[in-house]
Protein backbone atom coordinates (compact mmCIF):
# COMPACT_ATOMS: atom_id res chain seq x y z
CA UNK A 1 0.00 0.00 0.00
CA UNK A 2 2.63 2.48 1.08
CA UNK A 3 4.84 1.42 -1.82
CA UNK A 4 1.98 1.98 -4.21
CA UNK A 5 1.40 5.32 -2.67
CA UNK A 6 5.04 6.20 -3.21
CA UNK A 7 4.97 5.11 -6.85
CA UNK A 8 1.92 7.23 -7.27
CA UNK A 9 3.62 10.21 -5.70
CA UNK A 10 6.68 9.79 -7.86
CA UNK A 11 4.54 9.70 -10.96
CA UNK A 12 2.38 12.56 -9.79
CA UNK A 13 5.19 14.86 -8.86
CA UNK A 14 6.96 13.99 -12.09
CA UNK A 15 3.88 15.11 -13.94
CA UNK A 16 4.22 18.42 -12.19
CA UNK A 17 7.90 18.47 -13.08
CA UNK A 18 7.01 17.72 -16.69
CA UNK A 19 4.93 20.87 -16.82
CA UNK A 20 8.03 22.95 -16.27
CA UNK A 21 10.29 20.78 -18.44
CA UNK A 22 8.97 20.58 -22.03
CA UNK A 23 11.42 17.89 -23.17
CA UNK A 24 10.41 15.50 -20.46
CA UNK A 25 6.71 16.18 -21.07
CA UNK A 26 7.20 15.38 -24.74
CA UNK A 27 9.01 12.12 -24.04
CA UNK A 28 6.32 11.14 -21.57
CA UNK A 29 3.49 11.63 -24.09
CA UNK A 30 5.11 9.29 -26.57
CA UNK A 31 6.02 6.42 -24.36
CA UNK A 32 4.05 5.68 -21.27
CA UNK A 33 5.87 2.44 -20.63
CA UNK A 34 9.14 4.25 -20.60
CA UNK A 35 10.40 5.22 -17.17
CA UNK A 36 10.35 8.96 -17.63
CA UNK A 37 10.76 9.48 -13.90
CA UNK A 38 14.17 10.95 -13.26
CA UNK A 39 15.99 9.08 -10.53
CA UNK A 40 17.31 12.45 -9.45
CA UNK A 41 14.70 14.05 -7.19
CA UNK A 42 15.58 17.51 -8.49
CA UNK A 43 12.40 17.91 -10.52
CA UNK A 44 10.12 16.46 -7.89
CA UNK A 45 11.48 18.88 -5.32
CA UNK A 46 11.24 21.89 -7.64
CA UNK A 47 7.63 21.03 -8.40
CA UNK A 48 6.76 20.54 -4.77
CA UNK A 49 8.36 23.83 -3.78
CA UNK A 50 6.41 25.69 -6.47
CA UNK A 51 3.17 24.11 -5.28
CA UNK A 52 3.81 25.01 -1.65
CA UNK A 53 4.75 28.57 -2.59
CA UNK A 54 1.58 28.94 -4.64
CA UNK A 55 -0.47 27.56 -1.77
CA UNK A 56 1.06 30.05 0.62
CA UNK A 57 2.63 27.34 2.78
CA UNK A 58 6.25 28.37 2.23
CA UNK A 59 8.07 31.56 1.32
CA UNK A 60 11.06 31.10 -1.01
CA UNK A 61 13.18 33.75 0.67
CA UNK A 62 12.53 32.11 4.04
CA UNK A 63 13.83 28.82 2.61
CA UNK A 64 16.92 30.63 1.31
CA UNK A 65 17.54 32.08 4.77
CA UNK A 66 17.23 28.65 6.40
CA UNK A 67 19.70 27.08 3.96
CA UNK A 68 22.12 29.96 4.39
CA UNK A 69 22.05 29.60 8.17
CA UNK A 70 22.66 25.84 8.25
CA UNK A 71 25.30 25.97 5.53
CA UNK A 72 27.30 28.90 6.85
CA UNK A 73 26.43 29.82 10.43
CA UNK A 74 25.26 26.79 12.36
CA UNK A 75 27.98 24.15 12.47
CA UNK A 76 30.69 22.48 14.52
CA UNK A 77 32.66 25.72 14.92
CA UNK A 78 29.96 26.70 17.44
CA UNK A 79 30.52 23.59 19.50
CA UNK A 80 34.28 24.03 19.25
CA UNK A 81 33.95 27.48 20.81
CA UNK A 82 31.91 26.01 23.65
CA UNK A 83 34.57 23.37 24.26
CA UNK A 84 37.49 25.80 24.10
CA UNK A 85 35.72 28.16 26.50
CA UNK A 86 35.14 25.32 28.94
CA UNK A 87 38.83 24.37 28.75
CA UNK A 88 40.03 27.85 29.73
CA UNK A 89 37.28 28.81 32.19
CA UNK A 90 36.64 26.28 34.98
CA UNK A 91 33.54 28.12 36.23
CA UNK A 92 32.03 27.99 32.74
CA UNK A 93 32.88 24.31 32.46
CA UNK A 94 31.00 23.72 35.72
CA UNK A 95 27.94 25.53 34.40
CA UNK A 96 28.21 23.62 31.14
CA UNK A 97 28.19 20.27 32.93
CA UNK A 98 25.33 21.19 35.27
CA UNK A 99 23.07 23.25 32.97
CA UNK A 100 24.28 22.79 29.42
CA UNK A 101 21.38 24.50 27.63
CA UNK A 102 21.87 27.76 29.56
CA UNK A 103 25.67 27.63 29.39
CA UNK A 104 25.60 27.09 25.62
CA UNK A 105 23.11 29.94 25.25
CA UNK A 106 25.60 32.21 27.08
CA UNK A 107 27.77 31.95 23.97
CA UNK A 108 24.78 32.69 21.75
CA UNK A 109 23.87 29.20 20.58
CA UNK A 110 20.31 27.87 20.84
CA UNK A 111 17.49 26.69 18.61
CA UNK A 112 15.91 23.61 17.05
CA UNK A 113 17.44 20.30 18.17
CA UNK A 114 19.23 22.08 20.98
CA UNK A 115 16.29 22.93 23.24
CA UNK A 116 17.43 20.53 25.98
CA UNK A 117 21.18 19.96 25.94
CA UNK A 118 23.46 17.78 28.00
CA UNK A 119 27.24 17.87 27.94
CA UNK A 120 29.18 14.76 28.93
CA UNK A 121 32.85 15.01 29.82
CA UNK A 122 35.65 12.76 28.63
CA UNK A 123 38.39 12.05 31.17
CA UNK A 124 41.39 9.69 31.19
CA UNK A 125 39.02 7.07 32.69
CA UNK A 126 35.74 7.74 30.83
CA UNK A 127 35.02 8.07 27.11
CA UNK A 128 31.62 9.16 25.80
CA UNK A 129 30.03 8.36 22.45
CA UNK A 130 26.75 9.75 21.07
CA UNK A 131 24.33 7.99 18.73
CA UNK A 132 20.64 7.97 17.87
CA UNK A 133 19.74 4.37 17.07
CA UNK A 134 16.13 5.20 16.10
CA UNK A 135 16.69 8.26 13.99
CA UNK A 136 19.34 10.92 13.46
CA UNK A 137 19.04 13.13 16.57
CA UNK A 138 21.99 15.48 16.80
CA UNK A 139 22.63 18.82 18.57
CA UNK A 140 22.16 21.20 15.62
CA UNK A 141 22.93 24.57 17.31
CA UNK A 142 26.41 23.41 18.33
CA UNK A 143 27.30 20.85 15.63
CA UNK A 144 25.11 21.77 12.66
CA UNK A 145 23.42 19.08 10.62
CA UNK A 146 24.72 15.53 11.07
CA UNK A 147 27.08 13.92 8.56
CA UNK A 148 25.83 11.01 6.46
CA UNK A 149 27.72 8.38 8.48
CA UNK A 150 26.02 9.48 11.70
CA UNK A 151 22.60 8.86 10.12
CA UNK A 152 23.63 5.59 8.47
CA UNK A 153 22.66 2.04 9.35
CA UNK A 154 26.24 0.87 10.09
CA UNK A 155 26.76 3.58 12.72
CA UNK A 156 23.30 3.43 14.31
CA UNK A 157 23.27 -0.36 14.56
CA UNK A 158 26.78 -0.87 15.92
CA UNK A 159 27.28 2.05 18.31
CA UNK A 160 25.39 0.28 21.09
CA UNK A 161 26.43 -3.36 20.56
CA UNK A 162 30.02 -2.96 19.32
CA UNK A 163 31.13 0.56 20.21
CA UNK A 164 34.81 -0.35 20.59
CA UNK A 165 34.92 -2.05 17.19
CA UNK A 166 33.16 0.94 15.67
CA UNK A 167 35.63 3.36 17.25
CA UNK A 168 38.51 1.30 15.85
CA UNK A 169 37.00 1.86 12.41
CA UNK A 170 37.26 5.59 13.15
CA UNK A 171 40.90 5.00 14.07
CA UNK A 172 40.34 5.32 17.80
CA UNK A 173 41.62 2.46 19.96
CA UNK A 174 40.34 2.81 23.53
CA UNK A 175 42.34 1.18 26.33
CA UNK A 176 40.42 -1.84 27.67
CA UNK A 177 39.99 -0.40 31.15
CA UNK A 178 38.57 2.95 30.04
CA UNK A 179 34.85 3.13 30.77
CA UNK A 180 32.84 3.66 27.62
CA UNK A 181 29.51 5.47 27.98
CA UNK A 182 27.28 5.34 24.91
CA UNK A 183 24.46 7.91 24.87
CA UNK A 184 21.54 6.75 22.73
CA UNK A 185 19.68 10.04 22.26
CA UNK A 186 16.30 8.63 21.32
CA UNK A 187 14.25 11.07 23.43
CA UNK A 188 14.29 14.89 23.48
CA UNK A 189 17.72 15.56 24.98
CA UNK A 190 20.67 16.26 22.72
CA UNK A 191 24.27 15.50 23.63
CA UNK A 192 27.63 17.18 23.17
CA UNK A 193 30.84 15.48 24.24
CA UNK A 194 33.36 17.68 26.05
CA UNK A 195 36.63 16.13 24.84
CA UNK A 196 39.84 16.09 26.84
CA UNK A 197 42.17 19.00 26.28
CA UNK A 198 45.17 17.51 24.48
CA UNK A 199 48.80 17.74 25.51
CA UNK A 200 50.73 20.35 23.57
CA UNK A 201 47.88 22.87 23.73
CA UNK A 202 49.22 24.72 26.77
CA UNK A 203 49.39 28.45 26.39
CA UNK A 204 47.15 28.60 23.33
CA UNK A 205 44.47 31.27 23.13
CA UNK A 206 40.83 30.24 23.36
CA UNK A 207 40.40 31.05 19.67
CA UNK A 208 43.39 28.91 18.69
CA UNK A 209 42.18 26.09 20.93
CA UNK A 210 38.78 26.05 19.26
CA UNK A 211 40.58 25.47 15.96
CA UNK A 212 41.83 22.17 17.32
CA UNK A 213 38.39 20.83 18.23
CA UNK A 214 36.92 18.61 15.51
CA UNK A 215 33.28 17.74 14.98
CA UNK A 216 34.03 14.08 15.54
CA UNK A 217 35.64 14.75 18.92
CA UNK A 218 32.36 16.30 20.07
CA UNK A 219 30.41 13.20 18.98
CA UNK A 220 32.97 10.97 20.65
CA UNK A 221 34.34 9.18 17.59
CA UNK A 222 37.72 10.91 17.89
CA UNK A 223 39.98 12.59 20.38
CA UNK A 224 41.26 16.12 20.02
CA UNK A 225 44.75 16.14 18.61
CA UNK A 226 47.05 18.86 17.34
CA UNK A 227 45.87 19.67 13.80
CA UNK A 228 48.20 18.87 10.95
CA UNK A 229 48.68 21.06 7.90
CA UNK A 230 45.68 20.96 5.53
CA UNK A 231 43.27 19.41 8.01
CA UNK A 232 39.83 20.89 8.23
CA UNK A 233 38.25 20.19 11.61
Partner 1 sequence: MNGIHDMGGMQDMGPLQYEKNEPVFHADWERRVFAMVWATDTPPGSRYQRELIPPSEYLRISYYEKWLTAFVELMLKHGMITQAELETGKPVSSTPKGKLLTASQVPTELTKGDPSVRNVPVTPRFQTGQRVRARNMNPVTHTRLPRYTRGKIGTIERDHGVFVFEDTQVQQLGEKPQHVYSVRFTARELWGEQASRHDSVYIDMWDDYLEPA
* Catalytic site positions: 132, 135-137
Region of 84 on the Ramachandran plot (φ > 0 left; ψ -120 to 50 alpha; else beta): alpha
Q: Which stretch binds partner 1 (CB under 8 A): 26-34, 89-97, 150-158, 196-204?
A: 150-158
Q: Give the interface size with partner 1 as a residue count (CB under 8 A).
A: 90
| Helices of type H across the chain | 2-20, 22-30, 42-54, 60-72, 76-88, 90-98, 100-106, 140-143, 148-151, 153-161, 163-169, 206-210, 215-219
Q: Which of 27, 152, 226, 227 binds partner 1 (CB under 8 A)?
A: 152
Q: Which of 79, 163, 195, 220 binds partner 1 (CB under 8 A)?
A: 163
Q: Which of 26, 27, 51, 200 binds partner 1 (CB under 8 A)?
A: 51
Angstrom distances, CA of residue 80 to CA of 28, 45, 46, 61: 51, 34, 35, 30
**193 touches partner 1 (CB under 8 A):** no
**225 touches partner 1 (CB under 8 A):** no
Region of 56 on the Ramachandran plot (φ > 0 left; ψ -120 to 50 alpha; else beta): left
| Shortest CB 79 distance to partner 1, Å | 15
**52 touches partner 1 (CB under 8 A):** yes
- Nearest partner of 217 among 203, 230, 231, judged by Cα: 231
| Shortest CB 13 distance to partner 1, Å | 6
Pattern 21-50, binding to partner 1, x per CB under 8 A?
A: -------------------xxx-xxxxxxx
Amino acid sequence: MATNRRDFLTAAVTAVGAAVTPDLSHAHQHDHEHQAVPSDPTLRVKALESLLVEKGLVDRSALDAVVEAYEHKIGPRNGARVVAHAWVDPAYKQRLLTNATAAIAELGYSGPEGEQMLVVENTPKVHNLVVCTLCSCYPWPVLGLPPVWYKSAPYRSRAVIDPRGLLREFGLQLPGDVELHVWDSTAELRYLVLPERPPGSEGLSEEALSGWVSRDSMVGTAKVVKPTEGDRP
